[in-house]
Amino acid sequence: MKKFFALLLTAVMVLSLAACGKKEEAAAPAESGGEQAAASTLHLGVDPETGEEFYGPYYDEWSDMTDDQLYEQALKEDVTINIYATSSKMLKAEEPFEEMYPGLDVVVSDLDSDEVLNKAKIEHDSGNVTADVLQTKDVNGSVFYEWYNQGIIEPFYPRDICAHIDEGNLKYSYPLYASQAFWYYNTEAFPDGQPINNWWQIIEKDENGNQKYRLFAKEIGQESAYLSLFASFINNADEMEKAYEDCYGEKLEYTYNANDFDFEVPENNAGVEYLWRFSQAKMTFIGDGDELVLAVHNSTADDPALCLASAGKIENQEESGYNIAWCINLAPYTALLNTESLFAVAGSDSPAGARLFIRYITGGTDGESGGLKPFTKVGNWPLRDDVEDKKNPAKLDELGARANDIDAIYAIYPDVQDMWTYWLNKSPNK
């Protein structure tokens, strides 16, 4: 069974770590006396000494070094710091960083997520490491379980900055900022506010058995963030079941067939039931987010529509005059937080420079370094409690999203993808 082999793979990686006792030693920062500090031991997934699960935040000798200490050491290393980033906004950090830290040269490569990870792996496997910092997101656990455990990347958690970030957002990586997706509705069609407050209402039918809302989204099976969200519903089936009962005042009827698959599918799981019903709903897949919110803008009260799109598409409200707004605080939760994260590359020739850049780009000691400025926009939320969010119409804790538990998602993600694809192909509305 696919699920069995996914879990077996995880267990093998964990046991490999336990057998080795520790990860290969990373370059350690120089102490004030000029000698190398002892390299720290990183246990991912399980601590081989205690057998207990261990995740971030992970603090080592690098974590307590100041900007000045890192800068001093960075000037003694390769002074070129290569950043592989998934956002072109990272390019805007090159010049300000170099002005703040003369003698250091930042080179940013603007890549997509797969390129960032694949280039880093090729460099690791060939022993020709060029990248020093990776910026990417991990929505299904593949980065955490596969790139860490292959020794391609290593975590860096600056302790003073992490003190300003909720620990739930530090569990699997060090975050740059958080984003999320929302269901959008037409404010002209619904002048009294959002028409839905529950995920089950999205696929609701009227008394004649007709779908209440036209639905628009990117194809779920091609979006790892959306598949991860549905996986989280399966992992939190009790919450999905309660959300249904609270909405309709009756027990949820289970209609999916768990025997459709050659791997184990849980019986009477409200998250699986939702995935099945959602896959059978009539919806239009559109790859462009601006076109998704345009479809909602063009809908009417007599023919209402909802779309699932990234939070940043709300900018069309002011820029294009669209009658759109987010649906927030949906039961059982609105969305999963997708965090853009920063990772130090193992084997880097600029380990101190890499960590200095990571500190800079996430605001530095007091949040005022300027590094966060290029990423400050509607739809991106800073996770530091000492950095003011001036762009978004609502604070992050007002929206009903939650941190992504990628450990639980990783175990079932392949099965969720297969269930979605199989059921979508059976949909009469395909």
Predicted structure pTM score: 0.87
- Range 330-342 average pLDDT: 97
Whether 283 and 306 map to the same domain: the answer is yes
Q: What is the pLDDT of residues 222-239, one digit of tens each?
A: 999 999 999 999 999 999
pLDDT score of 4 more than 50: no
User: Is 404 domain-assigned?
Assistant: no
pLDDT of residue 425: 95
pLDDT of residue 13: 34
The answer to whether the CB of 119 falls within 8 A of the CB of 92 is no
Whether 240 and 322 map to the same domain: the answer is yes
User: Is 130 domain-assigned?
Assistant: yes
Q: What is the pLDDT of residues 119-133, one digit of tens each?
A: 999 999 999 999 999
Q: How confident is the model at residue 135 (pLDDT cuts 50, 70, 90)?
A: very high
User: Is 388 domain-assigned?
Assistant: yes
User: Is 406 domain-assigned?
Assistant: no
More confident residue, 44 or 404: 404
User: Is 230 domain-assigned?
Assistant: yes
CA gap 365, 221 in Å, rounded? 40
- Range 301-307 average pLDDT: 97
Q: What is the pLDDT of residues 371-428, one digit of tens each?
A: 999 999 999 999 999 999 989 999 999 999 999 989 899 999 999 999 999 999 999 9
pLDDT of residue 46: 57
Whether 5 and 109 map to the same domain: the answer is no
CA gap 385, 76 in Å, rounded? 34
CATH number at residue 392: 3.40.190.10
The answer to whether the CB of 327 falls within 8 A of the CB of 185 is yes
pLDDT score of 175 more than 80: yes
pLDDT of residue 53: 64
User: Is 30 domain-assigned?
Assistant: no
How long is the chain? 430
* Among the listed residues 168, 114, 157, 178, the one whose alpha carbon sits nearest the alpha carbon of residue 382: 178
Whether 286 and 387 map to the same domain: the answer is no
Instruction: Name residue 311's amino acid.
Output: A
Whether 49 and 84 map to the same domain: the answer is no
Whether 328 and 262 map to the same domain: the answer is yes
pLDDT of residue 55: 78
pLDDT score of 145 more than 90: no
- Range 44-58 average pLDDT: 68
pLDDT score of 1 more than 50: no
Q: How confident is the model at residue 20 (pLDDT cuts 50, 70, 90)?
A: very low
Whether 73 and 45 map to the same domain: the answer is no
Instruction: Name residue 40's amino acid.
Output: S
Q: Which of 12-16, 274-278, 335-339 has the lowest mean pLDDT?
A: 12-16
Q: How confident is the model at residue 23 (pLDDT cuts 50, 70, 90)?
A: very low
In sequence order, what are the beta bridge partners of 310?
181
Whether 130 and 269 map to the same domain: the answer is no
Whether 219 and 315 map to the same domain: the answer is yes
Q: What is the pLDDT of residues 112-121, one digit of tens each?
A: 999 999 999 9
pLDDT of residue 151: 86
Whether 185 and 329 map to the same domain: the answer is yes
pLDDT of residue 35: 32
Total domains, the chain? 3
CA gap 41, 99 in Å, rounded? 35
Distances (CA, A) of 419 to 6, 12, 38, 364: 15, 25, 48, 44
pLDDT score of 264 more than 50: yes
pLDDT of residue 40: 33
User: Whole-number mean pLDDT of the chain?
Assistant: 89
- Range 141-160 average pLDDT: 89
Whether 221 and 301 map to the same domain: the answer is yes
Structural domain containing residue 210: 181-335+411-426
Q: Please provide the DSSP assignment of 234-288 as one string.
A: HHTHHHHHHHHHHHHSSPPPP---GGGSSS---TT-HHHHHHHHHHHS-EEE-S-
Identify the burial level of 309 via C-beta atoms within 10 angstroms of its C-beta, where 0-12 means exposed, 13-18 middle and 19 or more buried: buried
Q: Which residues, in sequence order, are CB contacts of 5 under 8 Å at separation 6+?
A: none
pLDDT score of 65 more than 70: yes
User: Is 365 domain-assigned?
Assistant: yes
pLDDT of residue 149: 75
Whether 135 and 187 map to the same domain: the answer is no
Percent of the chain having pLDDT more than 70?
88
User: Is 29 domain-assigned?
Assistant: no
